[in-house]
Amino acid sequence: MHFNPHFHWTQTKSTQLTNAPCACIIRGVKKLPTPPAGPPTATRRRPIALEQLRGFAAAARHLSFTDAAAELHLTQSSISRQVAALEEQLGLALFERRTRALRLTVAGERLQRAVRAALETLDDCVDDLRSDDRDDRVTVATFASFASLWLGPRLAAFQAQHPEVSVRIDASDRKVDLEAEGVDLAIRWGSLASPPPGALRLVEDEVTAALGPRLIADRGMPATPRDLLALPLLEVDAPAAVVADATWSGWFERAGVTGARVRPRAVFSYVDQLVQAAIRGQGAIIGRLPYLWDLTAAGDLVVPFPQLRFKNGYGFFLLQHPQRGRRPAVRALADFVVAELARAAAASTRRPGRKRGR
């Protein structure tokens, strides 16, 4: 989630109004006759106050009313009342309240996902509206794994070259509409055969096996691809992994290991979680090379069979906003991304992949 320290919101109290008929008694005046019953009318949905949703979102994130109150600069009792009012309007419990602990109910988990996405969209829109007139701000949209494993670590180098430019990363797996959402740049992954219209191809995707020095120190360096079957194998549970052939079954088949029965020890939802588990020595992974370049250069991961890296027909692409892409700040970041990917790709072909532990 993007956090902007310059973005603030104001908490305001909402006044509850009712549309119940007023019961009045006036001496000497007869009561009006009750109107005949008509067809049922649709029930008007009662709007949920924004502060209640913000209070709930903070409480769900921290699983603590006290910590949520500290984040929003409110009292603990205010957060508790907001959540209670929200539960009353929904007619559902959102938290299981335990001794010194909170836990989301099934309904709470569902609402948390919806509220988090809605508040992020709202906050980003307001943030963009406040800064639309800034020529030194660049918004780049990309998927979370690329943001955390490749782009994020390089922002310091970019901003050292361009200290006047402010960068906002919109990390999401959805495909954004650059013109409709005011996004300057987007980095996407897709088929080389059908790239996004108007996109610049950055680098071709490749997959290979990798593991961490901790696992090597404990179990030894595998001498052959088949030796990897004796190690705990980790995978990511995502449709893109299957499409990209980034699975152990696919890699063993292409590496010529016949009869391999793959039973992943653990399956993760996101690539960055998978990579961090490998660094901790929890198992070996099938990694995609753009994500492995920095980690192998730093010695955090080892590619035991650098010759067994397989292309999958996919790659990474850069898109620019038709009008805003011409701004100097946007052009500077685009040029930086292109140059850095080219440099990292060239360095990876010269770098030996097989290392012993640290």
Q: Residues 96, 98, 102, CA angle at the centre, nearest 5°?
A: 55
- Give the residue ranges of the chain where pLDDT is below 70: 1-45, 127-134, 240-244, 349-358
Q: Which tokens hold the place of 341?
A: 């990917």
- Residue 7's pLDDT is 30
**Residues in CB range of 330: below 8 A, 6 or more apart:** 138, 184, 185, 320, 321, 324
**Model confidence pLDDT, tens digit, residues 278-290:** 999 999 999 988 8
Taking alpha carbons only, the member of 241, 56, 72 closest to residue 143 is 241
Using the 8-state DSSP alphabet, how is residue 115 labeled? H
- Residue 132: exposed, middle, or buried by beta-carbon count in 10 A (0-12, 13-18, 19+)? exposed
Task: Give Cα separations from 232 to 225, 249, 278, 281, 304 (angstroms).
Answer: 14, 14, 10, 10, 15
Q: What angle do CA 148, 154, 160 make, to 5 degrees?
A: 140
> Could you tell me if 348 and 293 are in contact, meaning their C-beta atoms sit under 8 angstroms apart?
yes
* Domains, in order of start, for the chain: 50-126 (1.10.10.10), 135-203+315-346 (3.40.190.10), 205-312 (3.40.190.10)
pLDDT the model gives residue 240: 63
Helix axes 106-131, 50-62, angle to 10 degrees: 120
In DSSP terms, which residues pair with 102 in a beta bridge?
97
pTM over 0.75: no
Contact call for residues 122 and 9 (beta carbons, < 8 A): no
pLDDT value of residue 169: 92
The pLDDT of residue 94 is 96
How far apart are the C-alpha atoms of 274 and 287, rounded to whole Å?
Answer: 9
C-alpha span between 275 and 287 (Å, rounded): 8
Dihedral of CA atoms 111, 116, 122, 127 in degrees, nearest 10, equals 170
The packing angle between helices 76-90 and 50-62, to 10°, is 110
The tokens for 116 are 């988090």
User: Which of 83-98 are b and which e, b meaning 16 or more Cβ less than 10 Å from the residue's Cβ?
Assistant: bebbbeeeeeebbeee
Q: Tens digits of per-residue pLDDT, 302-358? A: 999 999 999 989 999 999 998 888 899 999 999 999 999 998 888 876 554 444 433
CA-CA distance, 149 to 293, in Å (whole number)?
A: 10
Q: What is the pLDDT of residue 243?
A: 65
